[in-house]
Structure 1
Amino acid sequence: MKVKVQSFDAKAKPSDVELNDEVFGVEPRADILHRVVTWQLEKRRATARPTRERADVARTGKKFGKQKGGGTARHGNRRGPTFIGGGKAHGARLRDFNPSLNKKVRVMGLKMALSAKAQAGTLIVMDSLSVAEGKTKSLVASLATMGWGKTALVIDGTSVEQSFRHASGNIHGVNVLPAIGANVYDILKHDTLVLTRAGLEQLEARFNG
């Protein structure tokens, strides 16, 4: 599959880039994408801290007063939630959100997410992300003519180009990632996926390696 390479430089010569069909030509499957996205979101959740209920508190179980005539309630032990230091009633339970997913499925899901964008025509390849003087105004003017949609995920090479990072910092809907951070959830969440040549090469090398 060939994709036209775009550039912020109006004087740049037009060119095309050939996408690897093993990465960008995979038929997307909703079940695989759903499994990977669910796994990603569950991995974000922190372990819930448990509280000690009355069975977990080490306090005396001796009846501390007479059944009658003491003028107080007839408590059987000090572990009850009504006492300071007692167990909590209906406290939070330990829940560990640490799901696992086969690496082969995760790789397949990322390929399918990339392929879905390529097949839908919402994949853009940029020659470079360099923005004149790192100005937001210059970048906004360029984006108005490039059809990036309301939200765009920009994936660069080893690190995101500094001038683009500065210029896009105040633009709502434009998010940036290095190639190592590419993931299914962010790719599917945005209207448009934008890859630089460096980011494209690293993604393809990531799967081929």
Structure 2
Amino acid sequence: MTVEVVTKDGAKSGTIELPATVFGVEPNEHAMYLAVRAYLAHRRQGTHKNKTRSEVSGGGKKPFKQKGTGGARRGTSRSPLQPGGGKIHGPIPHLYRVELPVKVKRLARKSALALRARENNVHVVEDFTLQQAKTKDIASMMKALNLDGSKVLVLLPQTDTNVVRSARNIPGVTTFPADKISAYDVLSHGKLLIFKSAVQTLEQSFGSN
């Protein structure tokens, strides 16, 4: 697949062939589903906890006498039947981690990238650097490329502090090193803006089986 390469000012500077080993695969919906499910599961802390009857405070003394009150007998205020008592079968801390084979994760990434390419939502920009972090520099680029107002994932060949800082205050714009992305990162953004040299990074990172 061939796409145009533009400068950050929006001027066309040439074309580039997207690697078929990454952008030309048949999108696998099930692999993407598994990857997204695993990603969201990993984000959960799993620190939820209710106290059982052995952990709540109080309960050392019988609340009231056994007979004569007209009410049900009670031996402790920590009973799950009592207000403020322990919880029966409440949540306990545990991991929600879901392990996926490396090949499935790689297929999910390639499927997500190929899906965006099929939708014509992959844009390639000539590499550039910023002398200092300024939000207006990235904002003006997004406007020049008709990407303002969209959820855009910017893929860098490597972490560029000034670019990252310039983009992080723009709603919907996220920057990532190309070799660190997940299927969720791609699927949660409608458009991809890839630095030209990051295309090769994607091929080297995810092009193999």
The aligned counterpart of 1:122 is 121
Contact map agreement 1:60 1:79 (CA 8 A) in 2 = yes
The aligned counterpart of 2:152 is 152
Specify which structure has the bigger relative contact order, considering alpha-carbon pairs within 8 angstroms and separated by 6 or more residues.
Answer: 2
Q: What is the aligned residue count?
A: 206
Deviation at 1:25, TM superposition (A): 0.3
Distance 2:10 2:67 in 1: 94
* AA of the residue aligned to 2:157: G
Q: Percent identity?
A: 30
The aligned counterpart of 2:169 is 170
Unmatched runs of 5 consecutive residues or more in structure 1: none
Unmatched runs of 5 consecutive residues or more in structure 2: none
Alignment of 1:18-167 (within 5 A): 18-54=17-53, 67-68=66-67, 74-77=73-76, 79-80=78-79, 88-90=86-88, 92-94=90-92, 95-131=94-130, 133-148=132-147, 150-159=150-159, 161-167=160-166
Cα offsets for 1:8-54 (capped at 9, x unmatched) = 2578x822222211111011132222221112111111113333423
The aligned counterpart of 2:203 is 204
Counterpart secondary structure, 1:47: coil
CA gap 1:193/1:65 in 2 versus in 1, 3 angstroms? closer
* AA of the residue aligned to 1:170: N
TM score, norm. by length of structure 1: 0.78
Distance 1:139 1:63 in 2: 69
Counterpart secondary structure, 1:51: coil
The aligned counterpart of 2:4 is 4
